[in-house]
Amino acid sequence: MREANLNPLNEQVAVVTGAGRGIGAAIARKLAALGAVVILCGRKLEPLESTAAEINRADGRAQVLPCDVTDLSSVEAAAQHVDTSYGRADILVNNAGVGGFGGPLHQMPAESWDQVLHTNLRGVYYCIRSFAPIMVRAQTGHIINISSLAGKNPLPNGAAYAASKWGLNGLSYSVAEELRVHHIRVSVVCPGSVDTELSPHTGKDSTKMLQPDDVAHVVGMLVTQAPQSFVSEVLLRPTMKP
């Protein structure tokens, strides 16, 4: 599992939200392959356990930590657990997210709006609020927020999702300025369509879409950047338009 006998992350502790499937699982596998101890967060235990087992079978180190990013006390308990168990949180990947591509905004039920914004935006605030103090104490860390090209462009029939990701970009740029004084790097990754369960991507050719490993590769690049610089934003596109 370790890449070419290298261990660039050297037992750093990495927390990945939404790590049971899709992009989050690929990021967890990648960070473990780079030598991190990976904490897999999400609501459903079974997919987290199967991703962790896969990592551990491949000689990586993974631990499962059930956590709902929409619940501040759940996120705070997760951060407390990581701090007590490891005394550090070097990398936080805010990946957990939900879609919401059901039609025009004026027909969207208010509960759906709340679920999208609460998970994709407020959830990231909860995670940064809970984990950043551990990084500030250590005067080092890297926070990576998984946004979307829907945070750079209009998305008809996905206005709430687009709003959550435009908001996440603004949050990321601002928090990056707040935390760089503490040697904490904040990066935002904006992928185009990725072949996962998030969306059926109706009308798109899935063979041309990005794969979760493409996003994980970017995260691997970001966290292995030498400490004196950081990539603040990545726009990731498939080579062929799907």
| Residues in contact with ligand NDP by the rule CB under 6 A | 17-18, 20-24, 42-44, 47, 67-70, 95-98, 119, 146, 148, 191, 193-194, 196-199
- Using an 8 Å Cβ cutoff, are 39 and 27 in contact? no
Cα separation, 147 vs 98, in Å, equals 11
Q: Which is nearer to ligand NDP, 35 or 64 (CB)?
A: 64
**CA–CA distance from 188 to each of 66, 156, 176 (Å)?**
24, 22, 10
Q: Which is nearer to ligand NDP, 12 or 70 (CB)?
A: 70
CB of 5 to ligand NDP, least distance (A): 30
Cα separation, 29 vs 81, in Å, equals 21
- Using an 8 Å Cβ cutoff, are 32 and 56 in contact? no
Beta bridge partners of 150: none
CB of 234 to ligand NDP, least distance (A): 11
CB of 146 to ligand NDP, least distance (A): 4
Q: Which is nearer to ligand NDP, 68 or 90 (CB)?
A: 68
Q: Which is nearer to ligand NDP, 18 or 141 (CB)?
A: 18
CB of 136 to ligand NDP, least distance (A): 23
Beta bridge partners of 13: 37
Which residue in 86, 125, 126, 161 is the catalytic one? 161
Chain center to CA of 228: 23
Is 126 assigned a catalytic role? Answer: no
Catalytic residues: 161
